[in-house]
Amino acid sequence: MKILLARGRVRLSPYLVGAGVLLMAGSTLLPAHAQPEGDSLMVPDDAATGVGVTIAPVETPAQKAARADREVQERDWALWQAARLELGGPDGVNEGQKPAQTIAAYAKWLSDHGDLHPLVRAEAGVAVARLQGQTGDRAGANATLEALWNKSQEGDGALLVRAAQASLVLNAPGEDKGKAGAQAQALLEPLVGRAIARSRVRFESARELLQRYADALAAQGKGAQMAQFATKVLLGAPEHLPGAAQNQGGWLYGATVGALLGETRPEAAGQALSWAKLSWVECSFDKSSITDASRLVAQALSAQPDGEALVAGWVKAQKDPSLANPLQGVALPPTDDRALPGLLSTLGEDEQNREARVGVLLWMGRPHEAMVAAVAGAGKIPEWAKGQRLDVMREVARVFKARDLSLKSGNAYLQWVSKPVGDNPLEVFLAQVPAKEGAVTQVAAAPAKGGTP
């Protein structure tokens, strides 16, 4: 079986290594000429299934209800943004200069708009509560949030409200840190499962609650429980495995490593290094993700005996992968024996799950299958879909990085795509890396530009 991967004109600036932090030469991952242009994602006319025929999509009742809800939410969000600009002033200047007056204006606006979408009402109410808290009116902030919670305990708005309540508890002046963390944890615990599930669909609505839960555990010094929580999040929402900076799972890796390093248990530093390695193995092949993961690795290595020498060895191994890499013998965080295989089965072969499927296979220590998953279906990507082709190339580079714990092979592959001289690195990879029975064992290049994949 062959998987076709098109040769595109893609060049990647090499990463530079220095002071234990990986940086990229240049401001973008790809040069301007390789970036998908706005009109490049348009479907060409000859791809139409019929000439002069318009096929109207058929909505299911659930899709129709979701669309109607989204339209109401967008309408009410625009109303709130306009009100905030009018009442709070440009860039919220009145919130800083006239907080009491602004709080009263926001509260009146909320009262006058009683039929707002629940999420928009929660957003506006939380803004009021935050202002109240900043002015020292903690009782008022608590009352505002409790009223919002009593009005609706369902949907994304409830997640935002509970997260704001937990934040108020965690930041209480003079409060014992551990006690505040325990109170915040108790507030958030019943909603963690819902937030993880919701983060797969609408990450922003769930992120606040998940982050505050991590803060609550850290405040109590519960590094081991933080690692369990991180495992639960990643198994429940594997889309976050790549961890692009702070936007997806990146914050989770950092919070876990930090919490473990804050513990006094002898084994905690080793567990922190395992999580730092997972961050490196899983991270996307882009500047921000790699920089964040590299910092975590350096941080975790520094906490080991002879940490300075280990960090130096890590940096040297990035320049020369033939040298000993201090991450090489470090095990990835453990999971239940059935958890990752079960998750892999759930993800199936859906194209939208490509990154998650690759991530699960990398965590399982199966780089051959991860590479096959990275290029699966690449030959079916049409020539005009440059963005999809670049996504596949980044995933391939991600697998190279994970296997070698270095950027060299990933960059070498991308350079080969730009100028295919010598053996195809994918064919070499799949020939060298052991595969399980039934795995794809060959990857070939597609016809040159203009050909049909």
Q: Which residue has the tokens 């193995």?
A: 281
Distance between CA atoms of residues 302 and 379, nearest Å: 44
Chain-wide mean pLDDT for the chain?
A: 81
422 domain residue, yes or no: yes
- Indicate whether 346 and 272 sit together in one domain: no
Boundary (domain end) residue, out of 304, 319, 351: 304
Comparing C-alpha atoms, which of 296, 247, 289, 239 is closest to residue 407? 289
Residues 286 and 367 in one domain: no
Give dist(CA 444, CA 192) in Å, integer.
44
Residue 383's φ and ψ, nearest 5 degrees, are: -60, -35
Claim to verify: residue 293 and residue 358 sit in the same structural domain? no
For the chain, give the number of residues. Answer: 453
Q: pTM of the predicted model, to two decimals? A: 0.79
Band of residue 30 on the pLDDT scale cut at 50, 70, 90 = very low
Name the pLDDT band for 249 (thresholds 50, 70, 90): low
| pLDDT tens for each residue of 294-322 | 999 999 999 999 999 999 999 999 888 88
Is 358 inside a domain boundary?
A: yes
CB 260 within 8 A of CB 272: yes
In a domain, 76, yes or no: no
Q: What is the mean pLDDT of residues 205-224?
A: 92
Domain co-membership, 297 together with 358: no
The answer, yes or no, to whether residue 13 has pLDDT greater than 90, is: no
Task: Verify that 343 and 417 share a domain, yes or no.
Answer: yes
Q: Tokens standing for 215?
A: 């803060």
290 and 367 housed in the same domain: no
Give the pLDDT band (50/70/90) at residue 401. Answer: very high
Q: Higher pLDDT residue, 261 or 377? A: 261
CA distances from 433 to 269, 285, 344, 396 (A): 31, 20, 20, 14
Q: Give kind and range of the element (H or E) at residue 17.
A: strand 15-18
Q: Do 376 and 286 fall into the same domain? A: no
* Paired strand residues for 16: 23
The better pLDDT of the pair 111, 453 is held by 111
CA angle centred on 355, ends 242 and 4, rounded to 5°: 135
Cβ atoms of residues 131 and 106 within 8 Å: yes
Cα 215 to chain centroid distance, Å, stands at 18
Q: How far apart are CA 192 and CA 169, in angstroms?
A: 17
State the total domains in the chain.
2
298 and 341 assigned to the same domain: no
Residues 363 and 289 in one domain: no
In a domain, 273, yes or no: yes
Model confidence at 182, pLDDT cuts 50, 70, 90, reads very high
Question: Which range of residues forms the domain containing residue 248?
Answer: 222-304
Q: For residue 241, give both structure tokens.
A: 């495995």
User: Where does a domain end: 256, 281, 304?
Assistant: 304
Position 324 in a domain: no
Q: Assess whether 345 and 429 both reside in one domain.
A: yes
Task: Note whether residue 265 is domain-resident.
Answer: yes
Domain contains 344: yes
Residue 27 lies in a domain: no
Q: Are residues 425 and 342 in the same domain?
A: yes
- Give pLDDT tens digits for 46-70: 444 444 445 556 778 888 888 999 9
Q: Of 304, 323, 358, which residue sits at a domain end? A: 304
Q: What is the DSSP letter of 378?
A: G
272/340 same-domain check: no
**Beta pairing, strands 2-5 & 442-445:** parallel
